Structure 1
Amino acid sequence: MKTKRFLVIAVMIGMAMSVNAQEASESKYGADSVACVTNLSIYGEAYKQWESNKFAPESISMEMVKAWREVFLNCPRASQLIYTRGEKIMDYFIRTNPKDKDAYIDTICMMMDNRAKYFPVDPKTGGSQVANIMGRKGLLIYTYNKNRYEEAYNVLKDAVAMDPSQLQGAYIDAYFKATIDMVNNDKAEKMTVINVYQELSEVLDNNIGALAETEAELVAAKEDAEASGDADAVSGFDKQIEKNEKNININKGVKSNLDNLFQPYASCEDLIKVFSAKMKETPDDVVLLKRITTILDKKDCTDSKLFLDAAVRLNELEPSPEASYSLGVKFFKDRKWSDAATFFEQATKTDNNDRKYRAYRNLGMCYENMGSLSRARDIYRRAAQVDPTNGEPYLLIAMLYAGSAKQFSGEIESKAVFWAAVDKCLKAKAIDPSCADKANGLIRAYTAAFPSMETIFFNDYSEGQSFNVGGWIGETTTIRAKK
C-alpha cells in the first residue's frame, strides 16, 4: 500500500504540473509563503534524517515526500535542493519499484526542466548551467531505462549543442552509447556514430587541453609560493593541482572508453567506405573534409588515397593549421621529413591543444629523422609544455639520448647518456602513470647499459656523484652502476 501511495504521488506531479506551475507565484516562496516555508522545513529535516541513515529504505518518510511535492509544485524557486534531493527520492522509488520506473523517470525529466527554468545560472560561476542540467537529464534517462535511448540521445545532443564545455564525462559516455543504440536500431545511419565520435573527442581534447593549461598555471603559482616561503599557499595549490589532475584523468578515461566503443566502427576499410561515399556527394564540404582527415589520422588510416585527397582539398579550400597537419601526416608517412616538418610547423599554430601537441611531437620526429637531435629535443620540450601531463615527450627525449651513445667516446662518457635517459623515463612515469609500462621497459634496457662499479671506480668516479653529460645533451645527471 505504501509503495502504491508513493507512485500516486509521483504520477500526480505530472497531472498537477500544468495547472500548478501556472499558479505558482513569481516570488521565491510562491503564492503561499507560509505553507512553502513550512513544507521546506518538514521535508528538509526529514531528508537530513534519511540522509543520516544512509538513505535506508525503511527510514524514508511519507511526510517528507508529501512536503517535497508541495514545495516542488507551489514554490519551485525556493531552492535548488528541491531538485537535487528530488533526484535522490526518485532514485529510491525506481530502485524499489522497477516496474513503475517510467513514471518516476518522467518526474525526473520534469524536475530537470524546472531546474533549468528556475535556476539557469550556476551560483558558483555566474554562468549558465542549463547545458549541464540537460546533460544530467539525458544521463539519468539512459541510466534508468536504456530502452529510452532515443529520448536520451536527443536530450544529450541538445545539451552538447548548447555548451559542450559543461558536459561531464558521464554525460559524454551516455551520449555516445545512446548514439550507438540509435545506429544499431536503424534510427540513425552509421555516419552518425562517426560524427558524434569526432564531436565528443574534440570536446574531451578541449577539456584536457584547458585542464593542462590550468595545471601549468597552478604549478607556476605553487613555485612562486615556494620561493616566497608561503607554506599555506603551497598546500592550497597542492590540493588544487591534485583535483585538476583527477579531472584530467577522468577525461582521459572517458576518451579511452570512447575509443573502445568506437572500435567496431573504426576499421580503416569501414571508415574509408563510409567517408568515400560522403566525399563523393559533397567534395567541397569543409566540415566533412576536416572530419575525414581527423578520424583517419587518429585511426592510422593515413596511407589511403582518400586521406591524401581530403587533405589536399581541405588545404585548397581552407588553408589552416588543421589542413597543414593532415598534409604533414601524409608526407611523414612517405618519409619526406623536410616537407612534413614544414607542414607540422604550420600546424603548431592551431588552437586545439591535442592537435598542437601532436604537431609538435611529429615535428620533433621529423628533425630526429633528419639527424638534428638537439632541435628534435627542443621540439619535444615544446610538446611537453603544451601537455604537461603527458609523459610521451620525455620518453622520446630518453630515446634520443640513448640512441646517441656512439657519439660519445670514453668508458664513462658513452654510458652517461643512459643515466640521462633513465632520468627522463622516471620523469615520464611520474607525471603520466599511463606510460609507466613503456617507461619501465626502457629503464630496464638502459640500466643494463650502465657502467659497472669497477669501471666507475677506475675512472676516478663514485656512485651517486653528479656528472655532466657533454656534447649536445648538456645535462647534469647522477652516476649509477649496473646492478
Structure 2
Amino acid sequence: MIKQPLNYLFFCSVALWTALGCSPKVTDQTTAVESTSPEPVKEAGPCATWFETGHQDEAETEHVLYRDLIRKEEYEQAYPHWQKVFHWAPMADGQRTIQYDDGIAIFDHFYQSAATSAEKKQYLDSIMYLYDRLGQCEPKAQVEARKAFDYYYKYRAMTDDYTIYKLFKQAIDKYGLKTDYYVLNPFTALILQMYVEKNIDMAEAQKYGKLVKDILAEGLSTCKDEKACEPWKIIESYAPVRLEEFEGVEGFYDCNYYMDKYYQEYLDNPQDCDVIRTVLARFRWGGCDAEDPKVKELLGALQEYCIVTTETGPLRQGFDALQNGKYREAIDQFLDFVKNSDDPEKKAKYLLVVAKIYYGNLRNFPQARKYALDAAALKDDWGEPYMLIGKLYASSGPLCGPGRGFDSQRVVWAAIDKFEYAKRIDPSVAKEANQLINEYTQYMPTNGDLHMMNMHEGDRYTVPCWINEVTRIRGVKG
C-alpha cells in the first residue's frame, strides 16, 4: 500500500470544509461546450447526514461496504469507501459518531504501519483533524480527553508529556465531574510526573489531585449497573493509590486527610508502638494541632506503651523527630547513629527503621529497599527486612501498571518470592509470611491469561519497573 496518496486524498476530501482546491488543473478551452456532466456532489459540513446529500442510497451502501471491510481489518480496502461516504455525510444518520470513529481507526492503522516519522505525522494530523471536526458536532464526545488519551497511549513519541498533561487538564477543566473515566489513570500518573519534574507547583498538583478523587467519587456514585461501574472500580484500584505518593511531600495533604485515613488504624491497634508512632507522625506531618483530642490520645498511648529509654544522642533525637513528623531529620539521626555504632545488631535494627520511614512515610520504595537490604546484610537469618521488601513489591501494582491486569499482577511474583525467602530463613515471621502469601496468590495472573500470552509456569521472568528482579512465572485457576 502507498500511504502518501491516501493521506493526500483524505485532505482533498476534507477540503469540503476549507475549500483547499485539490482537483487537478486543466488547460483553458477556447471553444465553449455545453456541459453534460452530472451536478457535482455538494460539499458537506462536519455534521452533515446522508439524508441531506441527495445520495442517501449510495451513501448507505458505501457505509455498509467499508464497515464490512473494517470488521475484516482490511483498512486499505475500506479507506476509499469510507472516504466517499464521509465526504457526503460525516455524521452518517445523525444518531452516532461511527464514521468519525472509523476514520480515526483507519488513520491509526496507517500510522502504525508507516515507515517514516514524516508519514506518521501526516496520519496523526489527520486523526487530530477528525477529532476537531467531531467536537463541533458532538460535545459529549469529549474530544480533548480522547486526544490526550491517544497521545498518552499511542502517540507519545510524537509530542512531550507536558503537552499531553495540558490536554488532559483542558478536558477536566471543561467537563468537570462529568469527565469520562478513561482520563483519570493517565492523568493521575502525569500529575505525579509533572510535579516531580517541576513542571507544575504543589497548588496545581493539589487542585487536580482533588479533582481526580472527586470525579472518581461521582462516577462510583452515579454508575447504574455492574458493567457501567466496572471501569470506575478499576480506576479506584489505581488513582487513589498513586496519589498516596504525595504523602511524601510535606504540606501536600492537610490534617483532616491523615486523620480520616489513619486514625482507624490506631483504633484497631491501640497498643502497637509501630502503629502509634506512625499514625502520630502522620498527624504531625499533616500539621495537626497539638491540642487536637486525637493527637493528645496518641501522645498518651505513646507515653503509656512506647517509652524509648535511650540516652541523649542520635537515637533520642531520631525518635523525637519521627514522632513530630520530621521524617528526613529522623532519617539523618538514625543514619548518624548507624555510622558511629560498632554494634551490628543495633545498626541493622535502625537501618530497618530508616527503610520503614521511606516506605510508610516518604513513599520512596527504591530507598526503602536499599536500607532494608543494608539491614539484612548485618544480621544473619533475619526475615523482617525481606518481609518489608515483599510488602514494597506487593504495593507496586499501581506504580508499575494500571492497577489491574498483567502489568500490575506480575509484581506479586516478586513479592511472594520475598515472603517465601523470609520464612525460610526466619521461622519467627512464618505466620505473617504465610498469611501474605495466601492473600497475594489470588492476585497472580490466571493460567488462561498466561496461555494467551504464551507464557509458561516455572519459566524465568524479569519483573520490570523499579523492581527489576528475576522471578518465576506462576498462575492461578480462573
TM-score, normalising length from structure 1?
0.45
TM-score, normalising length from structure 2?
0.45
Which structure features the higher share of helix residues? 1
